[in-house]
Amino acid sequence: MPKRVVPEERRRRRRPTRSGRVLSETLIVETALRLLREHGSTGLTARRLGLALDCDPSTLYRYFRGMDDLTLAIGDALIGQALHGWRPTGQWRADLRAVGLRIHAAYVSHPQAAVLTASRVSGRANELAADEAVLDVLRTAGFPLPETVRVYHAFIDTTLAFAALDAASLALPDAALHADEEMWRSTYARLPAATHPRIAEAAPLLATRMVTSAYPTALDMLLESAGNSLAGS
The confidence score (pLDDT) of residue 40 equals: 87
- 110 lies in some domain: yes
Total structural domains in the chain?
A: 2
- Is 80 exceeded by the pLDDT of residue 56? yes
Provide the 10 A C-beta neighbour count for residue 54. Answer: 13
Mean pLDDT along residues 70-90: 96
Are both 198 and 167 inside the same structural domain?
Answer: yes
Are both 59 and 146 inside the same structural domain?
Answer: no
Are both 23 and 111 inside the same structural domain?
Answer: no
The confidence score (pLDDT) of residue 22 equals: 84
CB of 106 closer than 8 Å to CB of 162: no
Are both 99 and 173 inside the same structural domain?
Answer: yes
- 153 lies in some domain: yes
Confidence band of 183 (pLDDT split at 50, 70, 90): very high
Instruction: Give the C-alpha separation, 135 to 129, whole Å.
Output: 10
- 171 lies in some domain: yes
**7-46, pLDDT tens digit by residue?**
555 554 356 666 667 889 999 999 999 999 998 888 899 9
In terms of residue numbers, what domain contains 145? Answer: 86-232
**114-148, pLDDT tens digit by residue?**
999 999 999 999 999 999 999 999 999 999 999 99
Are both 92 and 54 inside the same structural domain?
Answer: no
User: Contacts from 45-54 at CB under 8 Å and sequence distance 24+?
Assistant: 53/17, 53/21, 53/23, 53/27, 53/28, 54/17, 54/18, 54/19, 54/21
Q: Is 79 helix (H, G, I), strand (E, B) or coil?
A: helix
